[in-house]
Structure 1
């Protein structure tokens, strides 16, 4: 069963955010767009390139009302140590959630049980706490923050414009589609 349009399951965890340890729950997601960005582990290879890309584009996400949450099965203490020792991770301003019990990773169905690590899962969550976009990549395939930003803008557009949909490669300001009998076989 797909998690699309399902509500985020309850969780409570500790994150490292702006030099502090803070509690994060599913209630924190309500009222704004959010991204849960799962990655396998701190102090690895592809993960810092992805998180650095998100950090470089964080202001663009914030400008459209989106909060990003990085999540791995590491502890919040490990997140702090990584933040303090890596130039790339040191520029991150979004919360890094520790999920050492793997509750959140299981809730989002990205836990690799045999390894105790999360897959590279990306989840876009609407202000009602419902999952609108899911992307899961193999461990060796990094993600692109600008493509994620494009998808979030499309999801926000569709949410704000009932009856319209965004075609492939849609970018903000481009034409959308209004599904109807008149379009059948004409695209």
Structure 2
């Protein structure tokens, strides 16, 4: 939905530039004209970041929609007050505003969700699933473990840890058995 909306914006701004040249937006103040021309580059950038599932994509989309809608409403405000029914149609200000509300309301949650899936493990490879339980695979079978996950895992397997991180059990047989259970469990999840 994001990509289609921003590509449609790109096409619209390109059409206006081709049809009207640099003066295509001469009805608007100069800052708004510059913004509308800049959207010819910003809209496809937002679409690209969205397709690439980049965490900054939704934030850029929200910023673009915020300034674009502000500029459009500012320029068309008098006409909206004079003939409000003329703006209730499937093109123009109404669908732009609805799309803008969608983009703005989803920007922060979507950006956070994308950022959680973009965590990178030590090898620099992108993880393929969000980190929800302290671990995630890196797409090649190896697992990235957080200290919390390892501690919980060791508790479940019966391996005790002291402050120095070394096993404290007096029974070497129990330590070896617990360590073997831990190794066995790790092998089963990898």
The two structures have a TM-score, normalised by structure 2, of 0.26
Q: Say which structure is richer in helix.
A: 2
More strand by share: 1
Q: TM-score, normalised by structure 1?
A: 0.26
Q: Give the number of the structure whose alpha-carbon radius of gyration is greater.
A: 2
